[in-house]
Amino acid sequence: MNDMEKNSALNRRDFLVSGLTGLAGLVVAFHLPVGAQKAFMAEAATPLAASAVPNAFIHIAPDNTITMMINKLEMGQGVNTSLAQLIAEELECDWKMIRSVSAPVAPVYNHTVFQTQMTGGSSALSSSWQQHRKIGAAMREMLKTAAANRWKVPLSEVTAKNGHVLHKTKGSLSYGELATEAGALKLPQDPPLKNAKDFKVIGHSMKRVDAAEKSNGKAIFGMDVRIPGMIYACVARPDMDGQKLDSFDEKAAKKIPGVIDVVKFRDNHIAVLAKNTFAAIEGKDALKAKWKDNQYSTASTESIYKELKEATHKKSVVAKTIGDADAGMKNASKQLEAVYEFPYLAHAPMESMNCTVNYDGEKAEIWSGHQMPTIDQGVAAGILGLKPEEVKVNTVYAGGSFGRRASKASDYVVIACHLAKEIKRPLKMVFSREDDMHGGYYRPMNVHRVELGFDDKKNLLAWRHYIAGHSVIAGSVFEAMMVKNGLESTVTEGVSDTHYNIKNFHCEQTRVYSPLTTLWWRSVGHTHTAYVMETMIDEVAVETKTDPMTLREQLLKDSPRHLQVLKILKGMTGWGKNKAPKGRAWGLAVHESFNTVVGQVVEVSIEENIPRVHKVWAAVHCGTVVNPEGAKTQVESSIAYGLGAFLYQKIDLKDGKIVQTNFDDYEVLKIENMPEVKVEFVKTDEPPTGLGEPGLPPIAPAVANALFRLDGKRVRSLPYLKGKTA
């Protein structure tokens, strides 16, 4: 292990232990019991627990440096900075003295709603808003009390500012000087929190705490982890569960320079062990592994779409009913039906899946970009025959996720641990891009069928909506929470809870079995429900000859946050006064997801039969914006990710096998095709809501609506460019 790795290992994982066994400093943590939805919206006013627990959120060293333990995965979204801002605001510390590291696995770091340590659902800030601010406030009050005790002055006479406690006659003491004394004090039960008008850190674009090490190469991602004696492994596995191994060429793999051994395990997995990742990948490819056919070996994209379309005509589970849509359709003088197709999608983060395991038969240590470390720890322990506390989990930086690292089955951790148990050697298991594209977890295929009814005056009378899709939570620990009476919330979210005031509305859903493993993908069900709702609303605008902005304002008159977003968009674009340049068109979409409302107007042209998105104006209501620059980049990245999916991306199945292999046939948006993006946020003191995902759902329907104004065609089957390239 080199010096960089040694320092990283200490900084991220071991400083807490040393702090508790002799290093002078103050360690504060608590468990905040909360109710689910109330906590999620960060409105709980629960006092702190009566006593601290052994694990800590903050460590103040004698030199006044402050280390904050972050209980969410830093995967590029800036959570190490934004969560630190919540604590720092109340702590009244010097931002230049702050560093953030990933927390170990412990109950105190659990998500305040889901009661497991995890990052997901765009909930990092919303679930931590009260909790983390109270952590900072509690420490501030303890430090002030320690200073008042030392000076023998009333607590009311001391103040905290910029990492020091001040008194008008006694002078000042740094936090580092007070840390040991403060650590011996009783934890305050209900420390006072600041008013928004007094914020000095929250609401400001503070310098990212991880910027320097990610720029100079010192940051440790999963692929960077090295441990003594480690070998590298790549694993050949089937595209689908249930396929049995038929044949593989062990001799060919062993001929690859650098290959050490070939190991068959778990009945249908073959690992190639090597001296480096490249040799392991080359050896795995040389295996030419084949699997026997199973009942889904003839499955194809076409056959699955056929099944889903048929399911939209069958009796299914009612998700929402308002008024009498059936009667409305019978009375309609004109009916319109539309069928939408949404393909499987891969997550394709730039850093592919990997897991490093050191198992000696009695204890284990694992390293990865753990998005759900509690689950990963429990699964690893079960495989290795250990207690969870005997498996040390090290969460390192992750190079993107988009939902992939929140694996409901901990798939890449499972494979790595099974292999480690088999060979009993330290190893790094890596999925190549092709490995993850073929055996990965996918955004489900979905089909929507929508029926609209209009009267003879072109008024909308009825809306019937049928959705058939694959489950993302079947078999996971979240199924009991998210499925009720056969209804899965992730399938219809954004439709059944629409804010549009539609008098006669009916929505049904059908869950259809998927031959491929599915998983939540950035913004989950909103990826398809927003597209259908916003393009159909646009069709209503055309049918009723109403301006798309005006129609939305009418149908959302009881939704003030949506109206605020639309108002900002009108101001940004001059909608109603300005219009797109010749040869271009504007498209509009607005959608709420993760308690955040995002509206977007796009300016689009068609060049050589390929859409070109020139500009995007985005207006966002996400409550208090903790880090404006970070929030802006989240919206920008969501737009880029969503545009790539709209234009190019799909995972096809042919004869039971995945067709796409890498970025050559699963394209992402290229920099030359990235539009100019302008983002504005609604100014409010409301608690923060989600932001990692809500910027994605509106972009595709906004572009589709603009394209209709250019060529008069509705895009109902994605991606737009099927096999074509930009």
Residue 329 and residue 358 in one domain: no
- Domain membership flag for residue 136: yes
Domain hosting 260: range is: 222-293+353-430
- Domain membership flag for residue 658: yes
Residue 398 belongs to a domain with what CATH number? Answer: 3.30.365.10
Q: Is the dihedral of CA 1, 254, 361, 370 positive or negative?
A: positive
Q: What is the DSSP letter of 231?
A: E
Q: Residue 138 and residue 46: Cα distance in Å, rounded?
A: 13
At 485 the pLDDT is: 74
At 22 the pLDDT is: 29
Start-to-end Cα distance in the chain: 44
At 27 the pLDDT is: 53
- Domain membership flag for residue 723: no
Residue 39 and residue 116 in one domain: yes
Residue 248 and residue 362 in one domain: yes
Answer whether the bond into residue 719 is a cis peptide, omega within 30°.
yes
CB atoms near residue 33 (< 10 Å)? 10
- Tokens 């539609």 belong to 502
Q: How far is CA 486 from CA 289, 316, 325, 443, 542, in A?
A: 39, 9, 22, 20, 36
Q: Is the dihedral of CA 110, 114, 115, 116 positive or negative?
A: negative
Residue 73 and residue 190 in one domain: yes
At 250 the pLDDT is: 98
Structure tokens that stand for 18 in this block: 């040393």
Last residue in a domain, options 400, 430, 460 = 430
Structure tokens that stand for 565 in this block: 């977003």
At 723 the pLDDT is: 65
Identify how many contiguous H helices and E strands the chain contains and give both numbers: 21, 29
pLDDT digits (tens, 9 = 90+) for 607-623: 999 999 999 999 999 99
Q: Residue 538 and residue 533: Cα distance in Å, rounded?
A: 9
Q: Residue 119 and residue 140: Cα distance in Å, rounded?
A: 27
- Domain membership flag for residue 724: no
Nearest to 209 by CA among 4, 1, 11: 11
Residue 374 and residue 482 in one domain: no
Instruction: With beta carbons less than 8 A apart as the criterion, state whether 631 and 622 touch.
Output: yes
- Domain membership flag for residue 510: yes
Residue 555 and residue 630 in one domain: yes
Residue 258 and residue 325 in one domain: no
Residue 499 and residue 619 in one domain: yes
Q: Residue 18 and residue 639: Cα distance in Å, rounded?
A: 44
Instruction: Give the chain's domain count.
Output: 3
Q: What is the DSSP letter of 107?
A: G
Residue 563 and residue 417 in one domain: no
pTM to 2 decimal places: 0.93
- Domain membership flag for residue 395: yes
Contacts of 126 (CB under 8 A, 6+ apart): 40, 41, 42, 594, 595, 623, 687, 688, 689, 690
- Domain membership flag for residue 437: no
Any bridge partners for residue 233, and if so which?
273, 429
Average pLDDT per 10 consecutive residues for the chain, totaling 726 residues: 37 34 42 36 43 61 94 96 97 95 93 90 95 93 97 98 97 96 88 96 96 95 97 95 91 98 95 98 97 88 97 95 97 97 97 97 96 97 97 98 94 97 97 93 97 95 97 79 81 95 97 93 97 98 97 98 98 97 98 98 96 98 98 98 98 95 96 97 97 98 98 97 62
Residue 488 and residue 412 in one domain: no
- Tokens 């969410």 belong to 72
At 490 the pLDDT is: 87
Last residue in a domain, options 430, 460, 478 = 430
Residue 385 and residue 422 in one domain: yes
Last residue in a domain, options 398, 430, 462 = 430
Helices (H), 315-453: 325-330, 373-384, 411-423, 433-439
Residue 274 and residue 306 in one domain: no
Strand residue runs (E) in 391-459:
391-395, 427-430, 446-454
At 296 the pLDDT is: 87
Q: Residue 462 and residue 452: Cα distance in Å, rounded?
A: 6
- Domain membership flag for residue 717: no
